[in-house]
């Protein structure tokens, strides 16, 4: 009995299990934004590099207990489906929705969703792994060519993974995670605090109105600078 308890306490949590936490955040947050039937492949790919890919790519850097990079690459179809279902679920009239994935409106909404996903992920990491990570502001952009993205710090034996997601309408998008090769080993049992729900995160990050989006000129300038740095 003691041996069993010791084995249970010392079970290591690896990169794949951290990735699984992230996948749960993606499906849970999207489920609370009108996209309830998003699912992911049970198979994960080991990849050698992380990239932004057409048609819409978004990346977030995180640091703290461990460092890494999260990228989500949407096809035009998957981005538009997620965007439309989100706003329609909030009561937005159909005739006020953007028609093309290159619209700033689509980029803003998808960036907000990405922020909610990574916020939920950092909350789960803090809750389940008892370590803290902080995130950068998500960078969302419509692109027409592949752009390699790497973490601007030296990772200790970086590991990269890719997971395929499917929407209700069978559109595809891809999640990529690059992080330190690390293991979390539970030394002793502990009581879990109450976990903040995706609904709470959504409530804390309400959709911006059209007027407030007009005040994003500074953010757009930063976006343009980033595009120039990436050579796009």
Range name among 9-18, 46-55, 84-93, 191-200 with the lowest pLDDT average: 191-200
Query: What is the tens place of the pLDDT at every residue in 192-207?
Result: 655 565 556 555 555 5
CATH assignment at residue 19: 3.40.1550.10
5 against 39, higher pLDDT: 39
User: Is the pLDDT assigned to residue 10 strictly greater than 80?
Assistant: no
Segment 9-34 mean pLDDT: 90
What are the backbone angles phi and psi of residue 197, rounded to the nearest 5°?
Answer: -85, 160
Residue 162 exposure: Cα atoms within 13 Å on the Cβ side: 15
Q: What is the DSSP letter of 96?
A: G
* Local structure of 30: helix, strand or coil: helix
Answer yes or no: is 194 within a domain: no
Q: Which domain holds residue 53?
A: 14-181+199-229
Answer yes or no: is 213 within a domain: yes
Burial 39-62 (b: 16+ CB within 10 A, else e): ebeeebeeeeebbbbbbbbbbbbb
Answer yes or no: is 27 within a domain: yes
Answer yes or no: is 204 within a domain: yes
Answer yes or no: is 166 within a domain: yes
Segment 80-85 mean pLDDT: 97
Terminal CA-to-CA distance of the chain, rounded, Å?
60
**In angstroms, rounded to a whole number, what is the distance separating the alpha carbons of residues 80 and 137?**
22
CB-based contacts of 124-132 (< 8 A; 24+ apart in sequence): 124/21, 124/24, 124/25, 124/195, 125/18, 125/21, 125/65, 127/192, 127/193, 127/195, 128/21, 128/192, 129/13, 129/18, 129/65, 129/184, 130/190, 131/64, 131/65, 131/66, 131/184, 132/64, 132/65
* Local structure of 29: helix, strand or coil: helix
Answer yes or no: is 210 within a domain: yes
Locate tokens 């980033």: which residue?
226
Answer yes or no: is 187 within a domain: no
User: Is the pLDDT assigned to residue 36 strictly greater than 70?
Assistant: yes
Domain total of the chain: 1
Query: What is the tens place of the pLDDT at every residue in 116-135?
Result: 999 999 999 999 999 999 99
pTM, full prediction: 0.79
Answer yes or no: is 29 within a domain: yes
Q: What is the DSSP letter of 97?
A: S
Confidence class for position 189, pLDDT limits 50, 70, 90:
confident
Range name among 67-71, 188-192, 197-201 with the lowest pLDDT average: 197-201
* Rounded alpha-carbon distances, angstroms, from residue 15 to 117, 134, 170, 183, 213: 18, 18, 28, 7, 37
């Amino acid at each position: 009995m003691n041996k069993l308890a010791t084995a249970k306490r010392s079970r290591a949590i690896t990169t794949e299990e951290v990735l699984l936490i992230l996948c749960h955040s993606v499906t849970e947050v999207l489920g609370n934004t009108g996209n309830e039937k998003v699912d992911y492949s049970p198979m994960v790919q080991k990849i050698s590099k992380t990239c932004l890919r057409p048609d819409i790519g978004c990346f977030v850097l995180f640091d703290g207990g461990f460092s890494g990079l999260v990228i989500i690459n949407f096809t035009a179809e998957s981005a538009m489906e997620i965007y439309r279902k989100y706003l329609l679920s909030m009561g937005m009239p159909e005739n006020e929705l953007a028609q093309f994935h290159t619209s700033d409106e689509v980029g803003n909404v998808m960036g907000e969703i990405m922020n909610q996903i990574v916020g939920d992920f950092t909350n789960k990491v803090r809750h389940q792994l008892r370590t803290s990570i902080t995130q950068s502001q998500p960078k969302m952009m419509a692109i027409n060519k592949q752009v390699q993205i790497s973490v601007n710090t030296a990772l200790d034996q970086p590991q990269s993974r890719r997971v395929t997601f499917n929407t209700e309408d069978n559109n595809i998008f891809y999640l990529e995670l690059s992080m330190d090769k690390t293991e979390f080993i539970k030394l002793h049992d502990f009581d879990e605090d109450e976990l903040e729900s995706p609904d709470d995160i959504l409530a804390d990050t309400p959709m911006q109105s059209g007027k407030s989006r007009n005040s994003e000129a500074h953010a757009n300038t930063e976006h343009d600078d980033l595009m120039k740095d990436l050579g796009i």
